[in-house]
Amino acid sequence: MTATLHVIFGPSGAGKSTYARELARSEPAVHFAIDDWMARLFAADMPEPLEFEWMMARVERCEAQIWSVAAATMAAGTSVVLDLGLMRKSDRARVAEIAQACELPIQFHFVTASSEVRRARVLERNEVRGETFAIEVNPDMFDFIEGVYEAPEAEELRGAIISES
């Protein structure tokens, strides 16, 4: 069996983390979630108010390490589930380019929900702090992320598995 790179993407609060965890259990695959890495490595040092440049520098470091470990995992024959956010089209294209350059079988998974449902989920996740909680996303952060997110066009979704909740 060939290891597959499963790439999860969608807007904030869509259910990506839940979907990614369930997919990793069912495959089986190793799950890499950027939120988990950021929370463990940098949450204690996070400036108030949050600075975009500070955050992005650390996201880039985490992604580089995730890619390194994910590549080794796939080389050993185990599938990987990447939950990196991938809010912008260029981020998703970069992942596809890396997979193609490394000749990795790739499957995109688009997870989405209405804005109202997503906002409510994020607020609930902040309160409950359950399995998928990594970092609190306050309403201002949610609005900021909404402004950064680029919805996929039909061409980008061709071949993707779509999960709408």
Show the domain range for 158. Answer: 5-164
DSSP three-state, residue 1: coil
With 0-12 CB in 10 A as exposed, 13-18 as middle and 19+ as buried, what is 78? middle
Instruction: Find out whether 126 and 26 touch, Cβ atoms under 8 Å.
Output: no
pLDDT tens across 102-114, in order? 888 999 999 998 8
pLDDT tens across 55-93, in order? 889 889 999 999 999 999 999 999 999 999 898 999 999
pTM above threshold 0.95: no
Find the radius of gyration of the CA atoms of the chain: 15
pLDDT of residue 135: 65
pLDDT tens across 34-46, in order? 988 988 898 888 8
The CATH number covering residue 140 comes to 3.40.50.300
Amino acid sitting at position 108: F
* Count of domains observed in the chain: 1
pLDDT of residue 116: 87
Measure the CA–CA gap between 39 and 41, rounded to whole angstroms: 6
pLDDT of residue 96: 94
